[in-house]
Structure 1
């Protein structure tokens, strides 16, 4: 069984209904709450009400291909992991899938089950961390986020103050507010928080 959080939600998208349902069944057998879709539009509509931790999508599908789906999804949900699959792999598409569309993995059909399960487990864990991190910083003001970004780079209060043209006391006040809102009390925690927020 895949090492994933219980009931991690996975949406499988492929215009080949037999394949999408087969992948969903495999994931259900391995402890996931998985659902198959033959249309990116249908998946996006469902995702709006029931967000998934991970999306497993075919690359080549009718009017909306997997990359277009990924672009639309990213504007709506910054914390869903995306895994691409294709019967027509190319190096260029593999690079695009990861670099430009935020894909976690690029799988060749027929799907290697072990690799798929490993990718989905990684995606579900990444999504959980990212959602938690985004929730932690949601209440920060724009200035606090700016200060956090600098603190997470290992800068001291004085260095951040100089960088932003503010007084060290002001930075100390912002830092205290950031700690109170995020519950991150040390620099290591702030660095980990920002890594989960910006990680693609």
Structure 2
């Protein structure tokens, strides 16, 4: 069974999606959210394989939400289901880390197919122009530098983006300040950044400014 999260600010839309996926009998819905903030909270604490995400939601929706989600749960596959049909919106979504893009004009069978494909690690674009240009699609989804970070390095980066000192991060993660310094050095090298200020700017730009997990 593929575990799916649904994020859309319209309850009727979520009910329709739920009905479609339950009819397909190969999905389990593990959670639902109605805005950007609740989507981040859901992603943080709910196991899932795929998130079906509406871009136009209140309280922190939009393209930036994709990067925030990827910063919290890099293994979660994000399938955008949007009213926006413009190719440039789709391109921005893929650049932010989405694994798939569908418009709300799609049929239920397309949604089912898209979820299955992105869950298997494939890319899916429901816009005809993108489907005819697989190389172009692949170029939009090249791994970003921070995807090479370990889970611990991601945690450290998230705390740094929140403006915390090495001592405070060490206390939060039950590590020594020396270990935090080593992690920071490794992060700088992997991201090809020159100093701490550049590291924090990178973290904020890529959505690592969410509240760190509590330990």
Fold-level similarity (TM above 0.5)? yes
Q: Over residues 64-113 of structure 1, what are the superposed CA-to-partner deviations in whole Å (9 max), with x where a residue is unaligned?
A: 22422211111111111111122232111011112x11222221113321
In the other structure, the counterpart of 1:93 is 89
Residue 40 (structure 1) shift: 2.6
Partner of 1:103, secondary structure, is: coil
In the other structure, the counterpart of 1:19 is 13
Larger gyration radius, structure 1 or structure 2: 1
CA contact (8 A) 2:33 2:42 kept: no
Find the aligned partners of 2:103 and 2:62 in 1 and give their Cα distance: 14
> Pick from 97, 106, 109: which aligns with 1:111?
106
Partner of 1:94, secondary structure, is: helix
CA contact (8 A) 1:10 1:56 kept: yes
> Pick from 53, 76, 79: which aligns with 2:72?
76
Q: TM-score, normalised by structure 1?
A: 0.55
Partner of 2:6, secondary structure, is: strand
CA contact (8 A) 2:35 2:59 kept: no
Find the aligned partners of 2:71 and 2:150 in 1 and give their Cα distance: 17
In the other structure, the counterpart of 1:42 is 38
Q: Aligned pair in 2 of structure 1 residues 10, 65: CA closer, same or farther (>3 Å)?
A: same
Find the aligned partners of 2:5 and 2:16 in 1 and give their Cα distance: 12
CA contact (8 A) 1:11 1:54 kept: yes
Aligned residues: 123
> Pick from 67, 70, 75: which aligns with 2:63?
67
Q: Over residues 7-38 of structure 1, what are the superposed CA-to-partner deviations in whole Å (9 max), with x where a residue is unaligned?
A: x2111111111102211221122221113321
Find the aligned partners of 2:15 and 2:37 in 1 and give their Cα distance: 17
In the other structure, the counterpart of 2:54 is 58
Q: Aligned pair in 2 of structure 1 residues 72, 59: CA closer, same or farther (>3 Å)?
A: same
Q: Which range moves more in the overlay, 32-41 or 11-20?
A: 32-41
Q: Aligned pair in 2 of structure 1 residues 68, 105: CA closer, same or farther (>3 Å)?
A: same
Q: Aligned pair in 2 of structure 1 residues 39, 27: CA closer, same or farther (>3 Å)?
A: same
